[in-house]
Chain A
């Protein structure tokens, strides 16, 4: 049995959703499978659509791998990008991220 860890997604409205996510799965997948409003992820995680942007609280940012070139360029096309922006399809669940909190943008479509 794969280990599971907690992720909390906070909608732009402030509504929070906490789910259990299996190790190795992307933070986008957790949101999509649990129908968290605010993550579209039309391409299913292929880093092909830039519709799964999240804002990562600073205390968690240090625990994440840096943005790849592809993620960097795709993020260029997401709406309301901030220094804490990430594409959640590129972030994998690990024990270190247990309890991570992600804020969602108002919209995924520029």
Chain B
């Protein structure tokens, strides 16, 4: 009897695992369970081209409709896993079914962090994580409407950019003193703040949200002691890992299901990959990554380990964000203590910030600067030392530094 594999969570990591398991020669049955109505789809376009309305829904899906059947993967949608019974190796589903597994992969992803304050449950307050979320937002996302965006991170700012383009009146409320504070350097924050203001977006930094008010639906947002009128509210204040299933089954979680560099949990029959996990990163620190790169690469490594060909996961994390005509590409994980080196002039809207740690390139943030990003990523992977003066010198092509 060939072994059978059950995958809980039908997102980017789950879809990648199915593809990689088959590519690595696994021939047994695969069952993938997802709690949304849709087969695995790409989330990055949701806050960008899909919200803008220039990217039809069918294009979001990661595989052709026929793929799962052809790949011998049973797809169970609109269904969650209720419990894992590790001793008997079964997963209990919300529809009452029980699935037996030889190997289990948890790709449960993350869910949006909810704002807790008076009025937070009023209709008209949106979050953005799924197709259904965007469809709900689309219906009211119209020119002239006033949208209050809570959170100046990637999601909030991508929606702000789309909103400004579509003619909405956009205000962003951010509790920290700069935009994308968790993700980018102060230089990038300042650059993006100026770009958003140029596009007519009002930024309220160091302004925490205290409450929402309205009669039957949200009409005002109270922030920093002031009241602002709003027709729509979009909250983008991060995500939390979906680890409850693992925790209830007695698997370790520390703000993320704990896995090793082969995506293994503490149970030899259970693996986990993607946003829901915490692992020891290539720099030796425990990290939780929320990105497409981690979903793809960790799922590939989980698949390799599941078929008995384990390989250490040590890929360089990379991220991107599209706001207006600016393509932000980041490789590596920056730290506040890194030495920052600017290459190019931000005024030209094409530049990069390199992060040096002990002389070596540890991360790169590139805006409309593909060579800086591509070579930078390579330098990070190799831990290469490059002099700050060389990095900053535009007369020296990036290719010479590789």
Check if A and B associate.
Answer: yes
Q: Which residues of A contact B (CB under 8 A)?
A: 22, 24-25, 29, 32-35, 42-44, 46-48, 50, 70, 73-74, 76-77
Check if A33 sits within 8 Å of B67, measured CB to CB.
Answer: yes
**Which residues of the other chain, A, contact B373 by a CB distance below 8 angstroms?**
48
Number of chain B interface residues as a range: 20 to 34
Q: A29-B59, A33-B61, A73-B371 are in contact. Are A47 and B327 (CB under 8 A)?
A: yes
Minimum distance in angstroms from A6 CB to a CB of chain B:
15
A-contact 0/1 string along B54-70, CB 8 Å cutoff: 00101101111001000
A-contact 0/1 string along B223-236, CB 8 Å cutoff: 00000000000000
Q: How far is the CA of A70 from the CA of B318 in the complex (A)?
A: 18
**Which residues of the other chain, A, contact B370 by a CB distance below 8 angstroms?**
70, 73-74, 76-77
The 6 closest A-B pairs by CB, nearest first: A73-B370, A77-B374, A33-B64, A48-B320, A44-B42, A74-B370
Q: How many A-B residue pairs have CB under 8 A?
A: 51
Q: A29-B59, A42-B296, A74-B374 are in contact. Are A35 and B19 (CB under 8 A)?
A: yes
**Which residues of the other chain, A, contact B45 by a CB distance below 8 angstroms?**
44
Minimum distance in angstroms from A32 CB to a CB of chain B:
8
**Which residues of the other chain, B, contact A24 by a CB distance below 8 angstroms?**
56
**Which residues of the other chain, B, contact A42 by a CB distance below 8 angstroms?**
292-293, 296
Q: How far is the CA of A106 from the CA of B2 in the complex (A)?
A: 32
Q: Which residue of B lies closest to A74 (CB)?
A: B370
Q: How far is the CA of A46 from the CA of B42 in the complex (A)?
A: 12
Q: Is B329 engaged at the interface, CB distance under 8 Å to the other chain?
A: yes
**Interface core residue of B58, B64, B370, B375 (most chain A CB under 10 Å):** B370
Minimum distance in angstroms from A95 CB to a CB of chain B:
18
